[in-house]
Amino acid sequence: MDYITMSDCMRRGMVSVCRGILRGAFLLVAAMAAMPAQAAVAPAERNALIDLYNATQGPQWINRAGWLAAAGTECFWSGVTCDPGQTTVVGLNLTNNQLQGTLPALAALTNLVYVDISQNALTGSIPSLAGLTKLQVFNAYGNQLSGTLPALTGLTTLQQFRVWGNQLTGSLPSLSDTTNLVYFDASNNQLTGTIPAITQLAALEQFIVSNNQLSGAMPSLSGLAKLRKLDISYNLLSGAVSDLGTNSALQTFYIDHNNLSGALPTPPSGLAIATVCPNVQLSHTSNASWDLATGQSPWYQNCGLASQLVITDINGGVSPAVGAKFPVTVALKDGTGASAISNTSITVQLSVAQGSGTLLFLASGAKSCTILVGASGCTVSNVSYSAVESQVRIKAATYYTAPPLIPAISNAFAVVAGSYTVGGTVSGLAGPGLVLRMAPEAQTVTVNANGAFVFPIPLGDGADYQVDVTSQPGSPPQSCTTSTGSGTIVGSSVTSVQVTCKTYYSLFIQVGSNAQISGPPTQLVLSGTTGYFHVFPKSGYRIDSVSGRGCSVSVSSGDVTTSPLTSDCVVTVTLVALDYIPMPYGPMRVLDTRAGGSTADGSYAGQGPLVANTPFALPILGRSGIPTTGVGALVLNVLATNTSAPGYITVWPSCVTRPLASNLNFIGQQTVANLVIVPAGCDATTNLVSSSGPTDMVVDVVGYFTTGPTLTSLAPSRLLDTRAGAWTIDGKAAGSGAVSGGDQLNLQVTGRAGIPAGASAAALNVTATGTTAPAFITVWPTDQARPLASNLNFVANQTIPNMVIAKLSATGQISLFNSAGSTDLVADVVGWFPASSDLIPLVPARLLDTRPGSSTIDGQYAGQGAIAAGQSKYVSFLGRGGVPQQGVGAVILNVTAANPQAAGYLTINGGSAAPVQNVNFVAGQTVPNLVIVPADVYSYIYASATTDVVIDVVGWLRGQ
């Protein structure tokens, strides 16, 4: 993926949204799995976190859940990530969290892997990063930081360093130790000094230091084979442009608005975007590749002049007589400084056009050129060598042996050349205020109507001219540009300058109170060009539709683009509330009964196991960022551990009679987890009971469904029980007998338990019991072909449940397939989704199977081998199996641990990490669980013990 910087935004006249952070580095912080009950970070690390909170106005943060809670809870503080053992802090993600004040020292957090404090209001200097030898990502862009940049000495693991858009001064640090650096952006600051060497950065892909005051030479780019983007524009760099011969990956190249000179190198074949001018003096050699990359023809527009005529001697340094011809020694040099022509005998004349500071080399086809001060004598640009022009005299010519002031040279000559005017035609002008300027005379002309114009002061024969717009019309606002606006006087007046004006149209943006936009609500867009803005929905909202009146519009990931405007346009953005809200910083722990256990807010931690058949009311609403109102149903990861005997767990809302249902089943000395969707209770609590005890419980809130036309939560209602003499809510699908291997059972869901026809999906807790052989169960809509997927896995004589979100057929049915042996099946429905909800159910599709010889829906992530103990695997779910690339808030997955080599667990999460066990297993056991994962470019799967992993996608939820 590419990155958009503030300098890009300046070029485009818009505010771009920089999405996400360098994923590869974040994902290396992978193993943030389950927290041992008595883990705690070192006191020095806790104190460093507290200092950070206090120094940056912690009580004013947008999200400060858990901060300053009791020792041992630090890994649950919002924005803090710890290692798998929860003993040390490895990540700080406090972006866009309203941090203010100055940053304290970070030295005590020696195991930091990433720091993201971007898009806040921090002031003062960046603290020292010395000793943070594991640091891979440091993002502090978009603040008000000042002072000098910290040294990066010893940071050999650093991959990303972004500090753009601050008020930093001083020089850039040495990058000699940052040999793994991929992305460096220090643009839009006030940095001075030279650019350090970067040729040692073999992994470098983007280097951006634009909009500073950097000077000296452009850095060598030799050996940077992975470099894709270079932006050193808007600085004070001088000298030659670096060679690009080894930069085969280069796609974007910005070096404009510097003092660079000489010939441009041959561009790489893949270069797609380039801006090279204006600069002092770059070669004019036409190059089709540069023309294409710069998007203009010729590429050297505004580049200055081509070569240099250096006057090395005038008659031995003696001033010539007035009106006399005199010999000179000249050397015509090309853009690299190499001598092209050297002439020591030809008699030539020098002159200057009327009122200008421009020397003329009066030979046939000669051109006027701006004075530059050289090492000795005068340097004159872009003077062509040809036959001698005779009959021209000079007056009071003076030879200077040292660089003179430009005004002195400007006054050294008198007019002797012919006089011709420069003019042209204006079209498209709709109002007054257009002012044109012509160089080198610095004369202006005001134009108030379409038609011809002429600059009043004539130029001499052979003089160069350049016509530019210095003031645009304002009523109505327009943009006027010149074509054929530069050239050379050749024996006649110029009448060919064309000035074309285009009108700005108004783009009116209507977005309402549930979002903000980049830029003002009314924007001016040039006729024939597209308008652009980005929509920032408030938390809990998403874009539902975007429409235009007077133009057409398209939207992608919040970026709204109009068609080229030919009139004023009104764009209306409609937002709707999200049906599902994931916890913003990953699953939030609200219960841990184990001795020494911790929760996000310190409540309901370590109070001891549940007693058999004794309901426990757990307050959830109003804790750790979970609202007290507007919650229709909670999505929980419920874990039973330290079990003392076989039993089961039932979870149900308060103010409702305990249902005939189970959410987890276990045996003695087992740890088992399951996803539970439970309606919000009447008093902010959720009930849990264990049929046997004592049993420790851990509950993490994954997210919640809002109230309204989304998930309709139900008290668990039994729709299927094949066991002899069993009972269901309506007597249907009861006692039909075990399902044999290779057979499928079709189950009617709609029309029962209050589920209407037209429902698109149902949430069910499906249990296999009385199993006779190792096998698996697949659940899918009856009117579809059975997919390559599984929802439950079991061995003989096992009882195992799993949450299933199943797409329904057109007639409201699902099918359940048993692969081997025979098994009874039980299904309790806990909710249903209408077709209009944000949940999009899918026919299950396999996205990952690590087992040798396995397959997936698209061949990706198949047969790559088990995940080793303590390692993570990174998988992309977006754009696969029916999940789109954009607009996804969360992905619903059935995750199975297969062939585990030892007891352990799996943690599955999006780009951030959280301490939750999603699947628990023992050696040789195959165990599934439903997981709802926040959408991200990549998600990681962490295994505490070596195991194969199988993942099937069953649906997705819309998001921002």
Average pLDDT for 74-80? 85
Q: Which two tokens stand for residue 615?
A: 């309901």
Rounded to whole angstroms, how far apart are CA atoms 303 and 828? 74
Rounded to whole angstroms, how far apart are CA atoms 639 and 33? 14
Hey, what amino acid is at 870?
A: G
Q: What is the pTM of this model?
A: 0.54
Instruction: Summarize pLDDT for 251-260 with one digit per residue, the tens.
Output: 888 888 888 8
pLDDT at 319 over 60: no
pLDDT at 417 over 90: no
Residue 859 neighbours by CB under 8 Å, 6+ apart: none
Instruction: Summarize pLDDT for 373-402 with one digit per residue, the tens.
Output: 222 233 333 333 222 222 222 222 222 222
Rounded to whole angstroms, how far apart are CA atoms 648 and 689? 8
Which residue pairs from 643-646 have beta carbons closer than 8 angstroms and sit at least 24 positions apart in sequence? 643/667, 643/668, 643/669, 643/670, 643/671, 643/692, 643/695, 643/696, 644/668, 644/669, 644/692, 644/693, 644/694, 644/695, 645/692, 645/693, 646/692
Token pair 């909009």 is found at: 211
Average pLDDT for 273-288? 64
The pLDDT score that the predictor gives to residue 220 is 94
- Say which DSSP state 716 is in: E
Rounded to whole angstroms, how far apart are CA atoms 208 and 834? 48
Nearest to 265 by CA among 312, 218, 316, 302: 218
Nearest to 175 by CA among 198, 193, 207, 194: 198
Higher pLDDT, 428 or 309: 428
Residue 513 neighbours by CB under 8 Å, 6+ apart: none
The pLDDT score that the predictor gives to residue 284 is 45
Q: Do 148 and 125 contact (CB within 8 A), yes or no?
A: yes
Token pair 């485009």 is found at: 12
Instruction: Summarize pLDDT for 717-744 with one digit per residue, the tens.
Output: 899 999 999 999 999 999 999 999 999 9
How far is CA 505 from its chain centroid? 31
Rounded to whole angstroms, how far apart are CA atoms 868 and 389? 84
pLDDT at 320 over 60: no
Rounded to whole angstroms, how far apart are CA atoms 546 and 556? 11
3-state secondary structure of 320: coil
Most confidently predicted of 242-251, 306-315, 707-716? 242-251
Instruction: Summarize pLDDT for 188-220 with one digit per residue, the tens.
Output: 999 999 999 999 999 998 999 999 999 999 999
Radius of gyration of the chain (CA): 36
The pLDDT score that the predictor gives to residue 660 is 74
Q: H helices of 225-306, where?
A: 288-294
Hey, what amino acid is at 564?
A: P
pLDDT at 929 over 70: yes
What DSSP letter does each residue of 620-664 carry, written as one string? -TTSTT--SSSEEEEEEEEEEES--SSEEEEEEETTSPPPS--SE
Rounded to whole angstroms, how far apart are CA atoms 779 and 842? 11
The pLDDT mean for the chain works out to 79
pLDDT at 914 over 60: no
What band does 64 get if pLDDT is binned at 50, 70 and 90? Answer: confident
pLDDT at 607 over 80: yes
Nearest to 879 by CA among 869, 868, 888, 870: 888
Instruction: Summarize pLDDT for 674-715 with one digit per residue, the tens.
Output: 888 888 888 889 999 999 989 999 998 888 988 866 788 787
The pLDDT score that the predictor gives to residue 39 is 52
Instruction: Summarize pLDDT for 809-845 with one digit per residue, the tens.
Output: 999 999 999 999 999 999 999 889 898 888 888 998 9
What DSSP letter does each residue of 375-432 carry, written as one string? SSSEEEES----SBP-S---SS----SSPPPHHHHHTS----S-EE-EEEEEES--SS
CB count within 10 Å of CB 829 equals 26
Nearest to 668 by CA among 687, 694, 638: 694
The pLDDT score that the predictor gives to residue 461 is 67
pLDDT above 90 covers a percentage of the chain that reads 40
Q: Do 140 and 118 contact (CB within 8 A), yes or no?
A: yes
Token pair 């799996």 is found at: 906
Average pLDDT for 851-870? 92
The pLDDT score that the predictor gives to residue 910 is 52
At CA 842, angle to CA 839 and CA 844, rounded to 5? 135
Span of 114-118, 289-293, 361-365 with lowest mean pLDDT: 361-365
Average pLDDT for 281-302? 53
Instruction: Summarize pLDDT for 452-478 with one digit per residue, the tens.
Output: 999 987 776 677 888 989 888 888 888
Instruction: Summarize pLDDT for 770-815 with one digit per residue, the tens.
Output: 999 999 999 999 999 998 888 888 889 988 888 898 999 999 999 9
Nearest to 891 by CA among 880, 902, 899: 880
The pLDDT score that the predictor gives to residue 310 is 32
Q: Which helix (H) or strand (E) holds 887?
A: none
pLDDT at 406 over 70: no
Token pair 């090395």 is found at: 312
Average pLDDT for 150-158? 94
- Say which DSSP state 878 is in: T
Q: Do 293 and 274 contact (CB within 8 A), yes or no?
A: yes
Instruction: Summarize pLDDT for 541-589 with one digit per residue, the tens.
Output: 889 999 999 999 999 878 899 999 999 999 999 998 888 888 876 678 8
What DSSP letter does each residue of 475-504 carry, written as one string? TTBEEEEEES-EEE--SS-EEEEEEEEEEE
Nearest to 672 by CA among 691, 695, 653, 694: 695
The pLDDT score that the predictor gives to residue 765 is 87
Rounded to whole angstroms, how far apart are CA atoms 67 and 739? 52
Rounded to whole angstroms, how far apart are CA atoms 862 and 878? 16
The pLDDT score that the predictor gives to residue 894 is 87
Rounded to whole angstroms, how far apart are CA atoms 667 and 852? 31
In the chain, how many H helices and how many E strands?
5, 67
pLDDT at 418 over 60: no
CA dihedral sign of residues 38, 43, 44, 50: positive
